Structure 1
Amino acid sequence: MSAPRTVTLATTDRGVVTIPEPGWCRGHAGEPPQRFTDLTHHSIPARAAGILTVHLSQAPYLVGSPERQPIVSVVLDYHQDLRAEQMPELYEALRSVQRVLSFAAAEAIRLRGDAS
């Protein structure tokens, strides 16, 4: 078994810290220093149909309700007035969104099982 991955980050309240970094994290290059409790891991985002962005996220040091396991972060951006004839296009876009969300949920569940 390989050694757990770590990352060393500058924080505004604790100076430089080294923390575990999940293998799915896209890395922290270019992120400005932040408070220790705000350190968050993000996966590479996936997009669907130009209306959805989804990625895994985990904020293990969050005060109050730390995220001990990855969660699915979802941004849905769609506002459109459509003619009735355009509904099939919307249906297909929503099917694409459903596939991406199902994959993200399955991956979060799989990772939660790995961490138990």
Structure 2
Amino acid sequence: MSAPRTVTLQTVDRGPVTIPEPGWCRGHEGEPPVYRSDITHNSVTVKAAAHTDSRGRVQLLQAHISHAPYLELHTEPDPVVSVQLDCVEDFTAEDIPQLLEGLRSAERVLTFVAAEALRLRGEQS
């Protein structure tokens, strides 16, 4: 069994802090120093979009797994699913079937990310 991965991050309030880094974290390269309570591990981002005749490709949402292990106000004992909804558009009636297919794709994306977050929660127990 390999040793857990760690990362040392420069913080504003505590100087260098070495913490465990989950294997799913995309890394912290290039991030500016933050307060220890703001340290957040994020996975890669997955996206869902629709392709419509009148608007072309329309981004619907982005999602990723996130965990802020030292968060103080709203503690996160487990990874959460971070979701950003992106679409505010007017569509023609003919675009709606294409938009609905994109929303079904968004549902599949969120289902996958949520299942992965639940799996990771089980690994932490």
Give the TM-score normalised by structure 2.
0.90
Deviations 1:48-106 (A, max 9, x none): 11221100000010113221211000001111112221110111010110010000000
- Inter-partner Cα distance in structure 1 for 2:91 and 2:10: 48
Tell me if 1:43 matches 2:43.
yes
Aligned length: 116
> Which of 62, 69, 93 is the matching residue for 1:60?
69
- Inter-partner Cα distance in structure 1 for 2:108 and 2:100: 12
Instruction: Tell me which residue corresponds to 1:103.
Output: 112
Instruction: Tell me which residue corresponds to 1:86.
Output: 95
- Inter-partner Cα distance in structure 1 for 2:23 and 2:118: 15
Tell me if 1:6 matches 2:10.
no
Q: Report the RMSD for the aligned CA atoms in angstroms.
A: 0.8
- Inter-partner Cα distance in structure 1 for 2:113 and 2:93: 31
Identity %, equivalent residues: 61
Unpaired stretches in structure 1, ≥5 consecutive residues: none
Unpaired stretches in structure 2, ≥5 consecutive residues: 50-58
Deviations 1:6-25 (A, max 9, x none): 00010000000100111000
Aligned-partner SS, 2:109: helix
Give the TM-score normalised by structure 1.
0.96
